Amino acid sequence: METKKLLDDAGHYLMNTYSRFPVVLRKGRGMKVWSTDGKEYLDFVGGLAVNCLGHCHPKVVIAIQKQAQRLLHISNLYHIEPQIKLARRLVINSFADKVFFCNSGAEANEAAIKLVRKYFREQPVNNRFEIITAINSFHGRTIATLTATGQDKIKSGFEPLLPGFRHVAFNDIEALAAAITGQTCAIMLEPIQGEGGVKMPDESYLRNVRELCDRHGILLILDEVQTGMGRTGKLFAYEHYGVTPDIMTLAKGLGGGAPIGAMLSTARIATAFQPSSHGSTFGGNPLVCAAAMATLDVLLEDDLMLDQCRRMGGYFRKKLEALKEEFPGIIANISGAGLLIGIELTRNAAPVVKACLDRGILINCTAGNILRFMPPLIITEKEIDLLTDILEQVFDRLS
Ligand SMILES: *Cc1c(COP(=O)(O)O)cnc(C)c1O
């Protein structure tokens, strides 16, 4: 009854921006969540790569409680202790020298776009403003970031879009080289594409992109909003490929569930931002920075969590490969790194997601025939076995 009322009210009062499952989730612990009608689910969506330490990780919860009692919000007119500490931590653990904090992935990318434009406006010859991004990329939903996004379905209806963006195929270094003009200022890529399938870069692709950037004096922006914070088995995905970007954006897992984004860059590029160039009322607020500090504490503790992510990613992958052997007519392809795994089905994935939901497992379908798994990094073999057993039942029915 209570659930029905909530679902009715959702229909009445919320804008219809998501096609949601008819479930109201109220509580979570670790890998599990519970709905208002008391059903238990195993969560392989992980808040879309946000809940990297699972639900309500005790260290994150305690950090938030303590900070909430001390200071919830104070303006960026003043220095903010947890923000300073978090910036230092991110700089020590990455290529970057400087950090700007915001509240989401789109805002982090928006900040990156503003920073590269400003940086090149201040050069002696200042006619560079164009950013090249990849087809099938995803960079966010604000006007600038949806323009950067390489998917028509996300842009459609919002024209006129922002000038100064071009798109080329991911993994096609020739196409990228050909798209560079005298006006190009940056190349912006996800190291591993997350939408429309989990698309891996070819072995040398990112290194070649880096070289191309250096040769032309262009900046490399890596959007690690999804791949960052340990998701791929390294703290940042660029570490797998022997390249460093000039700018990196983070959000999703950064706050372990608290809404925080960040844009990081080298010192040289960061000088383009001066007081009043950019800002955010909530950006880097004490509460979310305390949550992010606690999340990083756990993620980096003796490398245990990253090691766990690599091992569990390997185990998950092995179990999925076994399913592929068993159901070659259903699973066409498996890809991913660490605990960011996509499987391409030969058919529409929605019925599989629905069947798993009915059996108490949350999984995500990105594009029509793609399943994407982004479980918390605290996952164990037991939960992976539970999922693959259920997938086996579901595929068995389908075949
Ligand atoms: C989710 C995502 C974004 C957008 O993040 P929001 O917090 O939803 O604005 C941007 N880039 C990538 C790669 C993402 O996965």
pLDDT at 197 over 90: no
DSSP per residue, 108-166: HHHHHHHHHHHHHHTSSS----EEEEETT----SSHHHHHHS--HHHHTTS-S--SSEE
- pLDDT value of residue 312: 98
Which atom of ligand 1 lies closest to the CA of 140? 4
User: Taking 80 as the threshold, does the pLDDT of residue 302 lie above it?
Assistant: no
Checking if the pLDDT of 187 tops 90, the result is yes
pLDDT tens readout for residues 315-365: 999 999 999 999 999 999 999 999 999 999 999 999 999 999 999 999 999
Q: What is the pLDDT of residue 193?
A: 97
Can you give the residue ranges of every domain in the chain?
Answer: 2-56+303-398, 58-302
Question: What are the Cα distances from residue 56, in Å, to 226, 353, 381, 383?
Answer: 20, 25, 21, 18
Question: How close is the Cα of 334 to the center of ligand 1, in Å?
Answer: 22
pLDDT digits (tens, 9 = 90+) for 352-391: 999 999 999 999 998 799 999 999 999 999 999 999 999 9
> Model-level pTM greater than 0.95?
yes
Residues within a 6 A CB radius of ligand 1 = 104-106, 109, 138-140, 190, 194, 223, 225-226, 251-252
Q: How far apart are CA 371 and CA 353, in angstroms?
A: 8
Whether residue 1 has pLDDT greater than 90? no
Helix pair angle (350-358, 381-398), 10° resolution: 120
Neighbouring-strand partners of residue 248? 222, 264
191 pLDDT tier (thresholds 50, 70, 90): very high
Write down the pLDDT at residue 275.
97
d(CA 47, CA 52) in angstroms, rounded, equals 9
Query: Can 2-56+303-398 and 58-302 be said to share one CATH topology?
Result: no
d(CA 50, CA 110): 20
- Give 244 Cα–ligand 1 centroid separation in angstroms: 20
Residue 366 pLDDT: 87
Q: CB–CB of 8/329 below 8 Å? A: no
User: 58-302 domain in CATH 3.40.640.10?
Assistant: yes
* Residue to mutate, 18, 52, 139, ligand 1, most ligand atoms under 8 Å from C-beta: 139
Average pLDDT for residues 140-161, to the nearest whole number? 97
CATH number for the domain running over 2-56+303-398: 3.90.1150.10
Instruction: Give pLDDT tens digits for 85-130.
Output: 999 999 999 999 999 999 999 999 999 999 999 999 999 989 999 9
